[in-house]
Structure 1
Amino acid sequence: MEESGKTAVVAGGSAGAGRAVVSCLIDAGYRVGIIARGEDRLQQLEATYGAQVLTRSCDVSDAEAVERAGAEIEAALGPVEVWVNAAMLTSFSPFARMPSCEFDRIVDATLLGVVNGTRTAIRLMEARNRGRIVNIGSGLSYRAVPYQSAYCTAKHGVNGFSSAIRSELIREGARVTVSLVQLPSMNTPQFDWARNRLSKKPRPAAPVFQPELAAAAVMRAVREGRREYLVGTSVLQLVFANMVFPDWLDHRLADRGAEMQKSQAEEPGNRDDNLDTPVPGIDATPHGSFGSLASGGGRVVDGDRARWLVFGALPVAGFALGLLLG
C-alpha cells in the first residue's frame, strides 16, 4: 500500500507496542488517530506530534464509544486505511484467586477490544473497499502459560475471531485484509502496572525484545497484508513445539512457568494497577523497566511460509534424500 498522506488508527496507542506503532506510522507519513483510556498520556502525544495525531479517550471494550471515536477520527483526518488493535490488559494471578469480574475485565479489553475495533474499521473501510486491519496477538495465543489465564484466553480468542472475519471478507470479495502479529515477550510498561499476585514483581519471560520490533512487524503487515506474522524465534518455538509436544509443555510450564515470570524485585503490596483505571505518572512511552534484558532486533517471519517450510519443504527434502541414498 502507498503510505504517504494516509490515515491510520491505533487502539491502545498511548504506551507499549501500540505507542511504538504510532511512531512508525507517523514516520511513514500517516496521520494517526490514537484511542486509549489515559488522558494524560494522550495529551503528551498531542504535545509531541501536534496536528499529525488526533486522540480520543475511550475504553475499547465499549463498542459504541469505539465506533464514535473512529467516526470522529475519520471526519477530522480523512478516510481510515489502517486500523491497529493493540489494547490489552492482564493479571499475574492464580486462576483460583482471580475474581470473575477481573477475568471478565481482561477478556473484555483484550478480546472484545479487538472485536469492537475490527467492526468499526470494517464499517469505515467498506465504502472504499480497501484497508488493512492488524490485530496484535501473542505467542501465548498458541501456548498458554500459568498465571495469565484471562490474557491467554483472550489472545486465543483473537486468533479465532480474526480467522473467522478474514474468511468472511474473502468470501465477500473485499479488499480489506486482516493480519495477526504474534508477539514475543516485550519490554513494555505492562509489567509496571498490571495487577499482580505473584510473590515478586512480574517480568517478561526471556528472551525479551524491545517494542520497536513489534512496530516493525506491524508496518510489514501494513505493507503486505498477509494473514500472520510470527515475531522472534521464541514465538516460532512456541507455535511448533506446542503442535508436537503439548503434554511436555504442560508439565514444563507447571514446573517453570511461574518462575519465568518473576523478577528478583520485591513487589509493593499497595501499588496501583491499570485494570479498572489508567495508572497516573507513567509517560506515553513504548518501554518498560526491563530494557537491560531486551534485544532491539529479531526475526519477523511470515507464519504461512514458516509452516510450509516445516510441513512441506522438510518432508520433501527428506523424501529426495531417501531417493538419493536408495
Structure 2
Amino acid sequence: MRHQDIRVAVVTGASAGVGRATVRLLARRGIAVALLARGRVGLDAAAEEVRAAGGRALPIEVDMADHDQVVDAGRRVETELGPIDLWINNAFSSVFAPFQQTRPEEFRRATDVTYLGYVHGTRAALSHMTPRDRGTIVQVGSALAYRGIPLQAAYCGAKHAIVGFTEALRCELLHERSNVKLTMVHLPALNTPQFDWLLSRLPRHAEPVPPIYEPEVAARAIVGAADRPGRRAYWVGAPTVLTILGNRVAPGLLDRYLARTGYRSQQTGGPVDHDRPNNLWQPLDGPGGHDHGVRGSFSSRAHSRSPQAWLSRHRLAAVAGVLGTAAGVLAWRRH
C-alpha cells in the first residue's frame, strides 16, 4: 500500500516522542490521522499540528491496556474519519530498575501497556481491515526485542513478546492469503521524552545508550515501512553489536559484558528525583500537565540521519548489518 493509497491512519502513543513525530509526517502527506494516547494536553497539541498542516485530526484519549477502550476507539475512527488504511502500534510505558526492585504490579502494568496494547491495537485494526481484505499494520519494535539488557527487564520482555506475537500472526495471514500487511520497524536508542517521564529507581538519571537518533529518523522509517509493507522487519539506525553479533556469535560473552557496562551506560552523572511524577499509571500530559513534544534532552548527542535505515528500506540488509555493527562497536567503546 503506497502512501497515496493511505487516507486514514491510526497512531498509538501519538502525543509525544516517536508517535508525535510520525503523526507530523503523516499529516504533511495529507493523511487523516487518529491520535490515540492517554494525555489530553499532548493529544490536543499534536492534533493542532495536524490541522496546521492542512490535515484532519481525531484525538482520542485511550489507555491501550484496556481492550474495550481500544475497540471503541477503532469504531470511532471508522465512523468519523473513514476506513482505516494504516494502524501503527507504538504506545508503551516501562520502568528503569533492576528486576528485583520492580514491583509485580509495575511489571504487569508495563507489560499490559507495551505488549498487550499492541495485541489490542492489532485486533482492533484487523476487525476492520480483514472484512475489506486490505490495510497495513506496523508494529514499532526495538533492538531490545532481540537482546535484553539490564535495568529494562519489563521493556525487553514486552518487546520480545511483540516479535513472537507478530511472527505468529503474520504466518496466519499468509496462510489465509490475506491482503492485510503486517510489518515491524525496530528502533535504536532515541532522544524522546521517555527518559524524563518513565518510572525510575536508578541512582542517576536514565539515558539512552549511544548511538542516539532523533525521533524523526524513526518516524521516516515507520512511514516508509507503511509504503512498503511486504518486508517482515526494518531496522533503523545501528542495531549494534547487541543484536547482530551478541545473540548469534557469543551470547554468553555479551551477557558478561553487559553485566559490567550495562548499568553505567544507561545513566548520566546527574542524580534523579525518585519522587518525581511518572507516566506508568497516569499520563504526565494529562489535565494539569504539559505538552512534552517530540524530542527529549539529548539532542546535542543525537543523529538526525541514519544510513542504515535507508539501506534497510532498500533491501540492502547485509550492508546495513555491517554498518550497524561497526557503529555499535565504536559507540560502546567511546561510551
Closer/same/farther in 2, CA of residues 214 and 308 from structure 1, 3 Å limit = closer
| Alignment-derived partner of residue 315 in structure 1 | none
Q: CA deviation at 1:279?
A: 1.1
Q: CA deviation at 1:305?
A: 5.5
Work out whether residues 24 and 49 of structure 2, in 8 Å CA contact, stay in contact via their aligned partners in 1: no
Matches within 5 A, 1:17-56: 17-50=18-51, 52-56=56-60
Closer/same/farther in 2, CA of residues 309 and 68 from structure 1, 3 Å limit = closer
Q: CA deviation at 1:286?
A: 1.3
Provide the C-alpha distance between the structure 2 equivalents of 1:286 and 1:155, rounded to a whole number of angstroms. Answer: 21
| Alignment-derived partner of residue 257 in structure 1 | 262
Q: CA deviation at 1:253?
A: 0.4
Provide the C-alpha distance between the structure 2 equivalents of 1:193 and 1:261, rounded to a whole number of angstroms. Answer: 15
Matches within 5 A, 1:123-138: 123-138=127-142
Match status 1:273 vs 2:278: yes
Q: CA deviation at 1:309?
A: 9.1
- Structure with max Cα Rg: 1
| Alignment-derived partner of residue 15 in structure 2 | 14
| Deviation string, structure 1 residues 121-176 (Cα, Å, up to 9, x no partner) | 11111122111100011000111100110100000001000101111111111111
| Alignment-derived partner of residue 203 in structure 1 | 207
What letter is aligned with 1:152? C
What letter is aligned with 2:92? M
Work out whether residues 20 and 46 of structure 2, in 8 Å CA contact, stay in contact via their aligned partners in 1: no
Q: Which moved more, 1:295-304 or 1:195-204?
A: 295-304
Q: 1:82 aligns with which of 83, 86, 92?
A: 86
Q: 1:306 aligns with which of 309, 312, 317?
A: 317
Provide the C-alpha distance between the structure 1 equivalents of 2:260 and 2:320, rounded to a whole number of angstroms. Answer: 31
Closer/same/farther in 2, CA of residues 55 and 310 from structure 1, 3 Å limit = closer
What letter is aligned with 1:287? R
| Deviation string, structure 1 residues 89-137 (Cα, Å, up to 9, x no partner) | 1111011111100000001000001000000111111122111100011
| Deviation string, structure 1 residues 266-295 (Cα, Å, up to 9, x no partner) | 212311110100114342511111111101
Work out whether residues 141 and 159 of structure 2, in 8 Å CA contact, stay in contact via their aligned partners in 1: yes
Work out whether residues 148 and 156 of structure 2, in 8 Å CA contact, stay in contact via their aligned partners in 1: yes
Q: CA deviation at 1:306?
A: 2.5
| Deviation string, structure 1 residues 45-74 (Cα, Å, up to 9, x no partner) | 233333611011010011111010011011
Provide the C-alpha distance between the structure 1 equivalents of 2:292 and 2:27, rounded to a whole number of angstroms. Answer: 15
Please, what TM-score do these two structures have when normalized by structure 2? 0.89
| Alignment-derived partner of residue 3 in structure 1 | 3
Q: CA deviation at 1:239?
A: 2.1
Q: 1:296 aligns with which of 292, 295, 304?
A: 304
Q: CA deviation at 1:189?
A: 0.4
| Deviation string, structure 1 residues 67-93 (Cα, Å, up to 9, x no partner) | 100110111111100000000111110
Closer/same/farther in 2, CA of residues 282 and 263 from structure 1, 3 Å limit = farther
Deviating above 3 A after TM superposition, structure 1's stretches of 4 or more consecutive aligned residues are 301-305, 307-311
Work out whether residues 189 and 208 of structure 2, in 8 Å CA contact, stay in contact via their aligned partners in 1: yes
Work out whether residues 44 and 284 of structure 1, in 8 Å CA contact, stay in contact via their aligned partners in 2: no
| Alignment-derived partner of residue 105 in structure 2 | 101
SS, match of residue 286 in structure 1:
coil
Closer/same/farther in 2, CA of residues 82 and 284 from structure 1, 3 Å limit = farther
Closer/same/farther in 2, CA of residues 93 and 305 from structure 1, 3 Å limit = same
Provide the C-alpha distance between the structure 1 equivalents of 2:254 and 2:115, rounded to a whole number of angstroms. Answer: 25
Work out whether residues 201 and 274 of structure 2, in 8 Å CA contact, stay in contact via their aligned partners in 1: no
- Structure 2: runs of 5 or more not aligned: 323-335
SS, match of residue 108 in structure 2:
helix
| Alignment-derived partner of residue 316 in structure 1 | none
Match status 1:65 vs 2:69: yes
Provide the C-alpha distance between the structure 2 equivalents of 1:289 and 1:309, rounded to a whole number of angstroms. Answer: 28
SS, match of residue 34 in structure 2:
strand
Q: 1:152 aligns with which of 142, 153, 156?
A: 156
SS, match of residue 248 in structure 2:
helix
| Alignment-derived partner of residue 227 in structure 2 | 223
Please, what TM-score do these two structures have when normalized by structure 1? 0.91
SS, match of residue 305 in structure 2:
coil
